[in-house]
Amino acid sequence: MKKLLVIGFVSICMHAGAQTVSNVWVSDQKNGTYKNPVIDADYSDPDAIRVGDDFYMISSSFNHIPGLPILHSKDLVNWKLIGHALKRQPPFNHFSAVQHGGGVWAPSIRYYNSEFYIYYPDPDLGIYLTKAKNITGPWSEPVLVEAGKGLIDPCPLWDTDGKVYLVHAYAGSRAGFKSILVVKELNKEGTKVISDPVLVFDGHATDPTLEGPKFYKRNGYYYIFAPAGGVSTGWQLVLRSKNVYGPYERKVVMDQGSSPVNGPHQGAWVNTQTGEDWFLHFQDKDAYGRVVHLQPMIWKNDWPVIGVDKDADGKGEPVMVYKKPNVGKTYPVVTVTDSDEFNTTKLGLQWQWQANPQQGWAFPTAEGVLRMFSALLPDSIKTAWDYPNLLAQKFPTEAFTATAKISFQPKHEKERFALMVHGASYAYIAVEKRADGNYISYVKAVDADRKGKETVQDGEKLKSKDIYFRVQVSKKAICTFSYSEDGINFKTIGEALTAKPGRWVGAKLGFFFNRSNKTNDAGITDIDWFRIEQ
């Protein structure tokens, strides 16, 4: 039986069920205030809605599967990951290989006529729609609303006259142009574009890299909330018009100001049951990805002001600590799960593959372990930058220690199991079967996305099949790897890695298990637990 783990002042009965509060980042200050970010992890391009007393948020997932993560909150501060809208990503064969930077870009979620609608773009294929009557699914097979290259960041609006509209942007990398927003009409079902695009705003002169629009209607005005200026350096723009096709007035309603929050933009306006307005957005933190902030919002002269407006000019800046939203009640502290005891027969929602998974890569069990089988990868895959069978999760904050207990039970020489930090630069600590036993090694590749070569450092021969792998991540994303055979005495191996983001995503942390020969019976590795601590 797994032992009680005591971390600082937090005791968690690890065999009792899933962890609900992180040991490394909690936004709720438990005194009526919260600190930003409300989620210090890579939930990029957030969009959110309120349905009754429940808030739901989704984010982009790019090539990671399952995709389109769905989070739930009762108070906009305490968020829990409750599911995914995409179990596998279509086209299935295309996404059986890693498609860095492809897949699901900035999506939108709306609730209409007792159904949840998610519109998401694949920049290489077009705009898709998936629907569900319940937020946890089942979600419908994605329907291609409009095919085309470079159509990104769609958001619908059901107007009061029964018409349905869609606003979206263009990706310069695919379309050959960018920084504009267009509006199109959809059929009444919202499943197909039925009109030509109308250009409603051109950001080239004042708002370069205009993208990520969200469509709303209030007090007779059509509003488009859209970020501009680039993900790490930009600002939050709002456009308004009395006509859905414009012309639209523009106003910058939030920028960095004197705050430490760079590029604050792209997200969702939500209101509470008590009439308060709030705005969820991301901040780009390089290797840590795009983390989620919550800002107060008010309306002045039918323009939103987001954050705090210190000089009363109608433009706000982000807050770092603020009074929690008034939702009529106080709710328990919860966070997105990070540690995992693998004590249930379902894989934890925080885990994602780099591509559509194959059956056999990993199996949950009723025995308190996750069992992974070694995979034979095609010869076309040269480095770990392109491993599809990497099972990984997001960095939970800036500084933490992750430790895993594994049992390595190989059948063939060169079977290799590893704990990895993945990104444009990556490193991993591995155990590998050789002719005379199992050996530790450390592999590091700088700028792997630009064909940077791997360096390998061999370690010692191990005595036990049971091994503890650890990575310590300090601020500035410096990652130090170590291992132990008793869980007490850890030996550092290799030069530290300075993690880098992947293609539009933060660095990730997880496991792979590979082999080099064809066989009808692969070796196994059991992961007993994975724990994230200070």
- What DSSP element (H or E) covers 172? helix 172-175
Please enumerate in sequence order all residues whose Cβ is within 8 A of that of 451, keeping only pairs 6 or more positions apart, or say none: none
Q: Per-residue b/e over 415-445, b at no fewer than 16 CB within 10 Å? A: bbbbbbbbbbbbbbbbbbbeeeebbbbbbbb
Catalytic: 45? yes
How far is residue 116's CA from residue 118's CA, in Å, rounded to a whole number?
Answer: 7
The whole-angstrom distance between residue 38's C-alpha and the CA centroid of its chain comes to 14
Joined together, the tokens standing for residue 22 give 């992180």
Catalytic: 211? yes
Annotated catalytic residue, options 45, 75, 449, 526: 45
DSSP 97-120: S--TT-SB-S-EEEEETTEEEEEE
Q: Which of 386, 385, 424 lies closest to 506, judged by CA?
A: 424
How far is residue 9's CA from residue 28's CA, in Å, rounded to a whole number?
Answer: 16
Please enumerate in sequence order all residues whose Cβ is within 8 A of that of 301, keeping only pairs 6 or more positions apart, or say none: none
What does the angle CA 25 – CA 324 – CA 11 come to, to the nearest 5 degrees?
A: 35
Q: How many CB atoms lie within 10 A of CB 310?
A: 12
Q: Which of 355, 322, 352 lies closest to 337, judged by CA?
A: 352
Annotated catalytic residue, options 28, 211, 386, 526: 211
Round to the nearest angstrom and report the end-to-end CA distance of the chain. 24
Active site residues: 45, 211
